[in-house]
């Protein structure tokens, strides 16, 4: 895994801060003058965003919730496979600095509880708002490839629509954009997406203040989009650092990217496997019945239940 482990990360530089663990388990900070925000605010903010630590409206309330914070810290450390100390030690703070998805690692995300899924397998999407950093064609290619990662291993199909109502709306937005989950400027939270459902359900938002790329520099749009589409389809975060649904951004070469087994298992648990050979058989049968003749034999590879025919026409399953 090509995971980056830089100490002086991009969100908040913690390297020059000295941390002393107190007997109560929380921290006292010895800050160099320009360091802001302090670590405990940073750590609490992280736990509030991603581990459902209740938000305290007043600074004074924070003092009373040390045990709650420690429990949430342990939960976070458990998720990332760190030592479950309940204390914001160096490795914990470094993990919190990594750029990541805005969807929480535990509990329900904004919408309906349970395990929502799309009832139909033929889904539509629309790119509502583009980023000026990439050409529209490049954005469309990245998004299309992101959907393909999932359609390759499931019965799902995705069709791009340019007008009207669709299942999955995609947009680049910044700051507070009306869904109670504001973006935070460059780095930090890169994007988020909603579970399957009506209205905002399934929608994908990218932080428009990130630098979006089609290469290895931060942040590769295809990789982030493929992750977010996983949420749009009903998947939550994986603790497997190799999985696409791992919450932190990890670069992989997009040109050779294949979906890790953990994610394949996840999507197939919800929607079943791609229709594959047996589905092809029935598709051929129905085609014979329909046109009263024999179709061309599938010579190409069967990908995502699709067969590329000799005549170069594609057909799938229903």
Residues that bind Zn ion in the complex, under the rule CB under 5 A: 101, 103, 179, 205
First CA to last CA across the chain, in angstroms?
37
Look at residue 189 and give the partner it binds from Zn ion, Ca ion, none, a contact being a CB closer than 5 to 8 Å depending on partner kind.
Ca ion
* 188 forms part of the interface with Ca ion (CB under 5 A): yes
Choice among 94, 209, 228, 296 that is catalytic: 228
228 is catalytic: yes
Instruction: For the beta carbon of residue 44, count every other beta carbon within 10 angstroms.
Output: 21
Which candidate, 184, 235, 234, places its Cα nearest to that of 208?
Answer: 184
Q: Are 208 and 175 in contact (CB under 8 A)?
A: no
Least distance to Ca ion, CB of residue 15, Å? 21
Look at residue 207 and give the partner it binds from Zn ion, Ca ion, none, a contact being a CB closer than 5 to 8 Å depending on partner kind.
Ca ion
Measured from each CB, the residue nearest to Zn ion is: 101
# of chain residues touching Ca ion (CB under 5 A): 4
Nearer to Ca ion, 188 or 305 (CB): 188
Cross-strand partners of 213: 220
Which candidate, 156, 165, 145, places its Cα nearest to that of 117?
Answer: 156
CA dist., res. 97 & res. 197, Å (int): 31
CA dist., res. 247 & res. 239, Å (int): 8
* 189 forms part of the interface with Ca ion (CB under 5 A): yes
Least distance to Ca ion, CB of residue 49, Å? 12
Indicate the annotated binding residues for Zn(2+): 101, 177, 179, 192, 205, 227, 231, 237, 245
* 184 forms part of the interface with Ca ion (CB under 5 A): yes
Look at residue 205 and give the partner it binds from Ca ion, Zn ion, none, a contact being a CB closer than 5 to 8 Å depending on partner kind.
Zn ion
Kindly compute the dihedral angle of the four CA atoms of residues 236, 237, 238, 244, in this order, to the nearest 10 degrees.
Answer: 100
Interface residues with Ca ion (CB under 5 A)?
Answer: 184, 188-189, 207
Catalytically active residues, by annotation: 228
């Amino acid at each position: 895994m090509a995971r980056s482990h830089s100490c002086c990360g991009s969100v908040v530089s913690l390297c020059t801060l000295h941390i002393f663990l107190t007997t109560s388990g929380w921290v006292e900070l010895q800050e160099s003058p320009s360091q802001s925000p302090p670590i405990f605010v940073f750590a609490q903010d992280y736990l509030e965003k991603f581990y459902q630590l209740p938000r305290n409206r007043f600074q004074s309330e924070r003092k009373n919730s040390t045990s709650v914070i420690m429990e949430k810290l342990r939960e976070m450390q458990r998720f990332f496979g760190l030592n479950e100390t309940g204390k914001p030690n160096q490795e914990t703070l470094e993990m919190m600095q990594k750029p990541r998805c805005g969807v929480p690692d535990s509990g329900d995300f904004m919408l309906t509880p349970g395990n929502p899924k799309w009832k139909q397998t033929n889904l539509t999407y629309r790119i509502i708002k583009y980023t000026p950093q990439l050409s529209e064609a490049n954005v469309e290619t990245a998004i299309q490839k992101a959907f393909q990662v999932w359609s390759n291993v499931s019965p799902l199909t995705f069709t791009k629509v340019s007008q009207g109502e669709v299942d999955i709306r995609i947009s680049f937005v910044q700051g507070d954009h009306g869904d109670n989950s504001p973006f935070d400027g460059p780095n930090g939270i890169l994007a988020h997406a909603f579970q399957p459902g009506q209205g905002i359900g399934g929608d994908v938002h990218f932080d428009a203040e990130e630098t979006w790329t089609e290469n290895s520099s931060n942040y590769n749009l295809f990789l982030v989009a493929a992750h977010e589409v996983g949420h749009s389809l009903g998947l939550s975060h994986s603790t497997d650092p190799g999985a696409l649904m791992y919450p932190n951004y990890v670069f992989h070469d997009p040109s050779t990217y294949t979906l890790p087994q953990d994610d394949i298992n996840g999507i197939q648990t919800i929607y079943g496997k791609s229709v594959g050979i047996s589905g092809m058989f029935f598709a051929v049968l129905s085609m014979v019945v329909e046109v009263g003749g024999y179709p061309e034999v599938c010579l190409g590879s069967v990908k995502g239940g699709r067969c590329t025919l000799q005549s170069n026409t594609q057909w799938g399953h229903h």
